Copies of this chain bind each other. A is one copy, B any other.
Amino acid sequence: MAEKITPRSQDFSQWYQDVVLQAKLADYSPVKGCMVIRANGYSIWERIQGDLDRRIKKSGARNYYFPFFIPESFMKKEAEHVEGFAPELAVVTHAGGKKLEEPLVARPTSETIINSMFAKWIQSYRDLPLMINQWANVVRWEMRTRLFLRTTEFLWQEGHTCHATPEESEAETRTMLGVYRDFAEEILAMPVFWGRKSDNERFAGALRTYCIEAMMQDKKALQAGTSHNLAQNFAKAFETKFLDKDGTQKFVHQTSWGVSTRLIGGMVMTHSDDKGLVLPPRLAHTHVVIVPIMPKPETKAAVVEAAQKLRAAIEADAAVKGLPYEIGVLVDDDDQKQAGWKFHEHELNGTPIRIELGPRDLEKSTVVMTRRDLGVKEFVPMADVPAKIARDLAAMQKELLEKARAFRDANTFEIDTYDQLKEGVEKGGFFIAPWCGDSVIEKKIKEETKATIRCFPLDSNYEPKKTDKPCFYTGEKSEKNILAIFARSY
């Protein structure tokens, strides 16, 4: 039998690590802070890529690939950018047996190298908008790492766009925020709050940063995606200019936006339980496992044959074909393993639906079906199985989102005083507070409570929502007071 998973109630952090390691999503590598993504984890990433790539292309961007190495001097061209990333850089000083004339850094993000190309490719307004995306590995030297959530190297997509006007770049920033929000909810079944980051939390080099924030089962926040309006900051640093219709040279207005393999960690911490991984069907590789129950050698052949027939029937069925993804069905007929061991293993791996099929089921032409998230056995006539699978998978995808949203909402509190925050964060949750906007106080709150502003919720104009309540910290009323969501975070 496999190792035991630490219950969430006992040690959430250890539970997370147990699930990730035992479900073989990832493993520690011999390189400090770098992980190995194993087949079960990478197959989730492939599904994330497949769906998100389609959304990104639909938004008008095309995929490119830029160099992994960036000349060190490029990083220094935008003042805030170098300040933000300098402590996390990995530096190549030697290559091909020689010392390099200029050191190269491993990309922590690609605004600089991409702008050096934009400056070459963009001449006139006819070249705009230019919207590119890349799927790549990036490196940020982290002191404290955690599988998927924070690793020295990670995989991500980064979009970079150039526009003729500030209105267009702001609109693109918001569009991609919406793409991420819809993707997180529809595919990861992970409900998110979205909003704008405070100046303390915004991307190094951006005018403003928008984000999506999810609540994990330990009631901590996870930043799950960001979309930045870069204004002309990088354009000015790299001379990315265009000849406008009015005959004058102007700097382009830019955006960048990204999500990473961190999403896999967020998905695990949103849905999984003490038996292991719970996987939204949209992210599953194998959706249905059929376990033939083979108590006697003389009935084995008939049971396995029926299981194979059922698999073929499920794969061929129109009801299942109506799902927006290809369905994976596995017959687990390995007779080296007991049925109980298989149940345990497929629960651990998060297979959404389990079907048991034994000699007596065969006589009655029924099977036993169990949905991973509910764990309740149902007797289902064999002929109804494909249609029920289509219904159950669609329902599971929907209900995982609803369940996570109910959990988040039950742990999101409107507060009026700093004492409420100090008390609240110990139990966990999101705290929506009236806020004066003072960066110095924000830092003090972080030091005292370990809670940060996750985002400012937005009004219909995408501006932080105003409030006429007094600031929860200073007690002062002001026309500038807005709402802020505070929480401890990953």
Known contacts: A68-B137, A89-B95. The answer to whether A43 contacts B63 by CB under 8 A is yes
Check if A139 sits within 8 Å of B66, measured CB to CB: no
Check if B31 sits within 8 Å of A67, measured CB to CB: yes
CB neighbours of A93 from chain B (8 A): 91-94
Task: Count this chain's copies in the assembly.
Answer: 2
CB neighbours of A95 from chain B (8 A): 89-91, 141
Check if B139 sits within 8 Å of A68, measured CB to CB: yes
Interface-central residue, A34, A35, A96, A132, by most chain B CB under 10 Å = A96
The answer, yes or no, to whether A467 is at the interface (CB within 8 Å) is no
Known contacts: A30-B71, A39-B62. The answer to whether A90 contacts B94 by CB under 8 A is yes
Check if B86 sits within 8 Å of A106, measured CB to CB: no
Interface-central residue, A45, A69, A121, A132, by most chain B CB under 10 Å = A69
Check if B120 sits within 8 Å of A27, measured CB to CB: yes
User: Considering the chains assembled together, what is the distance between the CA atoms of A104 and B141 in angstroms?
Assistant: 13
Check if A64 sits within 8 Å of B92, measured CB to CB: no
User: Considering the chains assembled together, what is the distance between the CA atoms of A153 and B97 in angstroms?
Assistant: 16
Query: Binary interface profile of A, 55-76, with partner B (CB < 8 Å = 1, else 0)?
Result: 0000000111111111100100
The answer, yes or no, to whether A82 is at the interface (CB within 8 Å) is no
Check if B71 sits within 8 Å of A31, measured CB to CB: yes
The answer, yes or no, to whether A113 is at the interface (CB within 8 Å) is yes
Known contacts: A92-B106, A141-B95. The answer to whether A42 contacts B67 by CB under 8 A is no
The answer, yes or no, to whether A136 is at the interface (CB within 8 Å) is yes
Check if A117 sits within 8 Å of B27, measured CB to CB: yes
Contact of A69 among B88, B96, B126, B153 (CB under 8 A): B153
The answer, yes or no, to whether A36 is at the interface (CB within 8 Å) is yes
Check if A97 sits within 8 Å of B92, measured CB to CB: no
Shortest Cβ distance from A85 into chain B, in angstroms?
A: 11
The answer, yes or no, to whether A143 is at the interface (CB within 8 Å) is yes
The answer, yes or no, to whether A87 is at the interface (CB within 8 Å) is yes
Known contacts: A91-B94, A94-B93, A95-B90. The answer to whether A68 contacts B113 by CB under 8 A is no
Check if A153 sits within 8 Å of B64, measured CB to CB: no
Check if A116 sits within 8 Å of B30, measured CB to CB: yes
CB neighbours of A34 from chain B (8 A): 67-69
The answer, yes or no, to whether A155 is at the interface (CB within 8 Å) is yes
The answer, yes or no, to whether A377 is at the interface (CB within 8 Å) is no
Interface-central residue, A43, A86, A106, by most chain B CB under 10 Å = A106
Known contacts: A64-B39, A66-B29, A116-B30. The answer to whether A96 contacts B46 by CB under 8 A is no
User: How many A residues touch the partner, as a band?
Assistant: 35 or more
Check if B36 sits within 8 Å of A63, measured CB to CB: no
The answer, yes or no, to whether A37 is at the interface (CB within 8 Å) is yes
Shortest Cβ distance from A243 into chain B, in angstroms?
A: 15
Check if A63 sits within 8 Å of B92, measured CB to CB: no
The answer, yes or no, to whether A443 is at the interface (CB within 8 Å) is no
The answer, yes or no, to whether A38 is at the interface (CB within 8 Å) is yes
Check if B66 sits within 8 Å of A36, measured CB to CB: yes
Residue of chain B at shortest CB distance from A37: B65
Query: Binary interface profile of A, 308-338, with partner B (CB < 8 Å = 1, else 0)?
Result: 0000000000000000000000000000100
CB neighbours of A92 from chain B (8 A): 90-93, 106
Check if A113 sits within 8 Å of B42, measured CB to CB: no
Contact of A36 among B74, B96, B117 (CB under 8 A): B117
CB neighbours of A63 from chain B (8 A): 39, 42-43, 46
Check if B46 sits within 8 Å of A155, measured CB to CB: no
Check if A117 sits within 8 Å of B64, measured CB to CB: no
Interface-central residue, A89, A91, A95, A121, by most chain B CB under 10 Å = A95
Which residues A85-130 have CB closer than 8 A to chain B? Answer: 86-97, 104, 106, 113, 116-117, 120-121, 126
Check if A43 sits within 8 Å of B30, measured CB to CB: no
CB neighbours of A66 from chain B (8 A): 29, 36
Query: Binary interface profile of A, 130-171, with partner B (CB < 8 Å = 1, else 0)?
Result: 001000110101110000000001010000000000000000
CB neighbours of A96 from chain B (8 A): 87-90, 141-143
Check if B90 sits within 8 Å of A132, measured CB to CB: no
User: Considering the chains assembled together, what is the distance between the CA atoms of A132 and B153 in angstroms?
Assistant: 20
Known contacts: A46-B63, A91-B92. The answer to whether A113 contacts B39 by CB under 8 A is no
Can you give 7 A-B contacts (C-beta < 8 A)? A36-B64, A36-B67, A39-B63, A87-B96, A90-B94, A92-B106, A97-B141
Closest 10 A-B residue pairs measured CB to CB? Answer: A96-B141, A39-B62, A34-B67, A90-B95, A37-B65, A91-B94, A31-B67, A95-B141, A93-B93, A42-B63
